[in-house]
Structure 1
Amino acid sequence: MSRARLFVENFLIYGLGTMAAKVVPLVMLPIVTRLMPDASFFGYSDLSNTLVSLMQPVAVMGMYDAMFRMYFDDDSDGFRLRVCSSALFFVVGVSAVITLCILLISDPVARLFFGGAEFINLAIVSAATIFVSASGQIIQAPTRMMNQRSVYIVINLGTAVLSYAISVPLLLFGEYLMALPVAAFIAAASSLLIFAAINRRRFSFGAFDFSILKTMVAIGIPLMPSFLFYWVFSSTGRLVIVSALGAGAAGVYAVAAKIGQISQLIYNAFAQGWQYFAFSTMGDDDQVKLNSRVFEYLGVVSLLGTALVIAAMDPVYSLLFSEEYAGGIVCVPYLFLAPLLLMLYQVAVNQLIVVKRTWPSLIMLALGAAACFFLQVELVPLIGIEGAAIGTVAGYLVTTAASIVVLTLMGLMAVRRRLWAVFAAFSVYFLLWRFFFFGNTVALFALFMSLAFSSVFLYRKEASEIGRRFFRKRVN
């Protein structure tokens, strides 16, 4: 199979599958918000997810990426069994310790994250979710590493449906605070059990190998703080909003984030398909050029996709949500672009995993996280929830820019100037939207078409090649 076909197949198949699973929460979002008395309940549920997303990477400690990398070092079944088993038992042990610690201090955790001891049940459910989610991430990994796409997609779609089959009845019975967190725990536990049954032959107590674990720890530990920095990007804004503006504003922001992160569908599709492609082609002679071209093309698509969302979002957002959530629309473009910048960063920084030198990623992410946190603390009290969105996207921009500079200096990236021309044009479009044409759908669509045609002109050679291939397939 050609490399282009391998990448496109994985991207599209995982894209459709991931989209199906992620569309479920998006479709249910207007329903869930209307079943809740006010936005604060959605805000508390989102804070529970914030706690889980903080501690789950600590429990995994980079083992998912490390085992993925080690899996392709040797194609013997015995070696791969030792890799998977060593990673699982390490993560189960660490996640059990973390969960127990949260349970023992659930009262102060409830006060810190949710604002009061009356939310202790939220802290307990969140702790249980951390354990099953972290363990499940490793248990489902062999399905991904063997590229069993249909199995992975069907199970994740099923658990997404299950989550809302549980949460909606709970909301109807008035369990506004606990409905979404409890449903998330049950869905994660169900996924863990199903993948455990499927991949049971990929793990064994007797296959634990300390020498392999040491290598994976050396790869994974520098990656673990990276996920904590990701948490800063995605979650500190919520905590700053709760502190400065209250849980209601956090709920409005959370809904805007859910809509804005429709791009998370693209990112998740990419992430699921990218790892297999990246590590299976890492030995190719032109690997640096290949990786750089993927970065460049995805960059153009990401900017055009964000521009299209800006043009189309106003009537759609107004249709889906009540007036209580209307103030969140200004955050959507920032939060739509953020996961796409994360996707670009991970394309670039994957080069460090290939050469087993992951520590520079910590510096890149630290710079971005510092910018994110500083801007959010300064801007949220001044301009409201838009300040949190600005901080988030600014953090990702700093991190991605740093990765390009560092990897170019290391000879691991070579991005052409055409991408920077598209980025400059997009920046002008973004500023025109925010300061002159906010809510003007007709004008924004006209500007979008100009941006799109300019981008196609810059990449006319690639566009022509795609057109020729498509025409040949239609003729044949």
Structure 2
Amino acid sequence: MNYIKRFIKTSGVFFIGNTLTKLISFFLLPLYTFKIAPESYGYYDLTISLINLLIPIIFFQAWDGVFRFTFEYEKKSEKYMVISNGITIQFFGLLLYIISFFVLTNSLKYDIDYKYLIFIYGILYAFQYFYNCVARSFSKNALLVVTGLLNSIISIVLNVTLISIYDMGIEALYISYIIGTLIQLLILEKRLMIINNFKISIISFRLMKELVVFALPLCVVTLSYWLLSGLTRLAISNELGIYENGLYGVTNRLSSIVVLVVNIFQFAWYEMSYSMWKDDNKKDYYKYSLNYILKVILYIGSVALILIKIIFPYLIAEAYQGALIIIPITFIGALINSYVSFASTLFLAEKESNKLLMPTLVSAIVNILGLILFTKNFELIGATFSLTLAFFC
């Protein structure tokens, strides 16, 4: 029963600090859609999708290994040993990212819009993941909530100011994230003292190898996952145009609200499942939690679809009204994927991350074939249906 109480308590903390604030940003959609053209929003959505693909792979998803392995130690000094080895991998990934980014962008025959903003965004994205996982390793959920809340408020205020007053476009979205996340990271470093507790003497190639071996299958999963959501964006942009990708990006913003609510339980579930890895009754907890989250997803999804249908014309600018037709398909895909993400945590808790490879690869193949078959004939509906079908598989 202690696990259940902890699960509920942690869920509440993440709701206040993470989801509630991002639900507020949901109401910025009118500002985005009235002030930013679908083509520009489509470009922004595509660049973020590429960052979501490349950053976890280049940085070896060191944060996932750190988060899992720290739960095997009780003493702070032992936890910092894992963290120090993880941050070593992180800085190696940073070097690899800098080299890869400038070699790739300089080899292209055309200029990349907002090149340096995208570059900085990628670095902060990687370190935000790492610092968040370290905070959760020490069960510093209140700290994570406060800094996340501050980050979101700063981003929201900057977005409103830069877009509505200074008439900026998508550069405002990059700038607000960069400033908000940088402030969050500085506060987290001050409280967690990751750099201060770093010692070369505790660097262990054996432990680094274990962290990388644990995370490598997850990197492949990330790549395969990108062949789902990321490749869909790329296919829409190439086959149908950036305008259509802007429509798709808005529907993802809307469906992400449902995902955020589910993520409350998923964040709490990570901690609980990692903590009970030696518990004899853990399988009963697994079963109970999976049944519970399925009910939550079905209830939330049903209500959300009705509400979105009602408020869509008032919330979204007329230029984006074509997105309404794909919302049901996108929402169903997001709900299925939320359940899959929740269930996948079981394999991480058991240190069986390699077992996530096959399902994700099969799904990626289904999506590739679906995009080829459906996009040309059914356009945006075909592309989103292909992704939902892949998530279901």
Tell me the TM-score normalized by structure 1: 0.77
Q: Contact 1:7 / 1:274 at 8 angstroms: preserved in 2?
A: yes
Distance 1:377 1:183 in 2: 37
Distance 2:27 2:39 in 1: 20
> Secondary structure at 1:279's aligned position in 2?
helix
Distance 1:60 1:397 in 2: 29
Per the alignment, residue 327 of structure 1 pairs with 322
Distance 1:149 1:354 in 2: 19
Distance 1:259 1:106 in 2: 31
Distance 2:100 2:315 in 1: 41
The worse-fitting range, judged by mean Cα deviation, of 125-134 and 199-208 is 199-208
Q: Contact 2:273 / 2:346 at 8 angstroms: preserved in 1?
A: no
Distance 1:81 1:24 in 2: 35
Q: Contact 2:305 / 2:331 at 8 angstroms: preserved in 1?
A: no
Distance 1:101 1:354 in 2: 32
Letter in 2 for 1:168: V
Larger Cα-atom Rg: 1
Per the alignment, residue 93 of structure 2 pairs with 94
Distance 2:328 2:91 in 1: 38
Q: Contact 2:250 / 2:323 at 8 angstroms: preserved in 1?
A: yes
Distance 2:125 2:305 in 1: 34
Q: What does the per-residue CA deviation read over 1:377-419, in whole Å, with 9 as the maximum and x for residues that have no partner? A: 3322222222222222222211xxxxxxxxxxxxxxxxxxxxx
Distance 1:103 1:167 in 2: 28
Distance 2:179 2:213 in 1: 33
Per the alignment, residue 125 of structure 2 pairs with 133
- 1:306 aligns to 2:301 (yes or no): yes
| Residue number among 166, 172, 178 corresponding to 2:171 in the alignment | 178
Pair 1:181–1:48, CA change in 2 (3 A): farther
Give 1:53 shift.
1.0
Q: What does the per-residue CA deviation read over 1:105-132, in whole Å, with 9 as the maximum and x for residues that have no partner? A: 21456x7xxxxx24x2433322222122
Per the alignment, residue 189 of structure 2 pairs with 196
Per the alignment, residue 63 of structure 1 pairs with 62
Per the alignment, residue 148 of structure 2 pairs with 156
Specify every segment of 5 or more residues in structure 2 that has no aligned partner in the other structure, as ranges.
none
Distance 2:103 2:53 in 1: 18
Q: Contact 1:255 / 1:328 at 8 angstroms: preserved in 2?
A: yes
The worse-fitting range, judged by mean Cα deviation, of 162-171 and 292-301 is 162-171
Matches within 5 A, 1:203-242: 203-206=197-200, 207-242=202-237
The worse-fitting range, judged by mean Cα deviation, of 291-300 and 345-354 is 345-354
| Residue number among 371, 374, 379 corresponding to 2:374 in the alignment | 379
Distance 2:168 2:318 in 1: 24
> Secondary structure at 2:279's aligned position in 1?
coil
Matches within 5 A, 1:1-12: 2-12=2-12
Pair 1:305–1:20, CA change in 2 (3 A): closer
Letter in 2 for 1:87: G
Distance 1:309 1:382 in 2: 29
Give 1:85 shift.
0.9
Matches within 5 A, 1:243-258: 243-258=238-253
Per the alignment, residue 272 of structure 2 pairs with 277
Pair 1:373–1:190, CA change in 2 (3 A): farther
- 1:394 aligns to 2:389 (yes or no): yes
Pair 1:18–1:333, CA change in 2 (3 A): farther
Per the alignment, residue 263 of structure 2 pairs with 268
Per the alignment, residue 74 of structure 1 pairs with 73
Give 1:287 shift.
1.1
Letter in 2 for 1:375: G
Per the alignment, residue 50 of structure 1 pairs with 49
Distance 2:173 2:288 in 1: 41
Q: Contact 1:260 / 1:331 at 8 angstroms: preserved in 2?
A: no
Distance 1:239 1:280 in 2: 39
Percent identity (aligned): 19
> Secondary structure at 1:384's aligned position in 2?
helix
> Secondary structure at 1:73's aligned position in 2?
coil
Q: Contact 1:257 / 1:331 at 8 angstroms: preserved in 2?
A: no
Give 1:96 shift.
2.7
- 1:296 aligns to 2:295 (yes or no): no
How many residue pairs match? The answer is 390
The worse-fitting range, judged by mean Cα deviation, of 42-51 and 59-68 is 59-68
Give 1:350 shift.
2.7
Pair 1:322–1:347, CA change in 2 (3 A): closer
Distance 1:39 1:16 in 2: 31
Tell me the TM-score normalized by structure 2: 0.92
Distance 2:227 2:357 in 1: 13
| Residue number among 332, 346, 352 corresponding to 2:347 in the alignment | 352
Distance 2:370 2:352 in 1: 30
Q: Contact 2:59 / 2:92 at 8 angstroms: preserved in 1?
A: no
